[in-house]
Amino acid sequence: MVLANGPDSFIYWHWVDGHTDDIAAAVGTHLRLTAIAMGFGLLVSFPLALLARRYSRARGLILGLTGVLYTIPSLALFFLLGPLTGYTTVTTAEIALVSYTLLILVRNIVTGLESVPPDVVDAARGMGYTRGRLLARVELPLALPQIMAGVRVATVTTIGLVTVAAVIGQGGLGQMILTDGLQRDFTTPVVVGAVLSVALALVADVVLLGVQRLITPWSRGRGGRV
């Protein structure tokens, strides 16, 4: 590996130094697209998970549909959404990104809720807890470790998928990899974009793990790792 300053080197540091604002902007866009996708993914996944948990017929339909969405190649999904939301819009990118979070989030929310010990649920009902209060005060707190595990996996996956959205002009670091790097046959932006994408995924996972441990201190005594 050659780390030098020549235009033919693996890393052209003068380019990096001269494009710090562009790199920072790409990182910001990457994080924004990821955050929006995860936010809407959770908003959609939570009610779907509650339906899947309560109704067995709905569970098969919901998990089947989210599974199908997860298996659709991203380029094909962009193409399918194009006539409806535009081929190069943020909306198209976000709909696709949200779709890929659903299977992971729904499954983990359902699994987390179903992992709550039945005797705890029975005790809460015996104390007069309504269904909504039982969910908010008992089931969700105990399901948080499993739910957060799903959030971590979905976040890391989304950070990687945002890069692919560069093909429709919405890729954050992926746009830098594609436009500045691959299309110009210039290695430096490709390396910088790829390294930063991996770094973002690692940092996001560590931060979310810290949040998980902070909001679920009771799980540490049982290992705390999911």
Tens digits of per-residue pLDDT, 34-60?
999 999 999 999 999 999 999 988 999
Q: How confident is the model at residue 221 (pLDDT cuts 50, 70, 90)?
A: low
Which stretches does DSSP call E strand in 14-94?
A: none
Task: Dump pLDDT digits (tens) for 139-170.
Answer: 999 999 999 999 999 999 999 999 999 999 88
Contact between 121 and 134 under an 8 Å Cβ cutoff? The reply is yes
In a domain, 10, yes or no: no
pLDDT of residue 10: 73
Task: Dump pLDDT digits (tens) for 182-211.
Answer: 888 889 999 999 999 999 999 999 999 999
Task: Please indicate whether residue 7 or residue 107 has the higher confidence score (pLDDT).
Answer: 107
In a domain, 225, yes or no: no
Contact between 162 and 30 under an 8 Å Cβ cutoff? The reply is yes
Vertex 142 angle, CA 136 and 144, to 5°: 85
Enclosing domain of residue 65: 19-216
pLDDT of residue 3: 47
Phi, psi of 24, rounded to the nearest 5 degrees: -60, -40
In a domain, 221, yes or no: no
CATH of the domain at 79: 1.10.3720.10
pLDDT of residue 26: 95
Domain count, the chain: 1
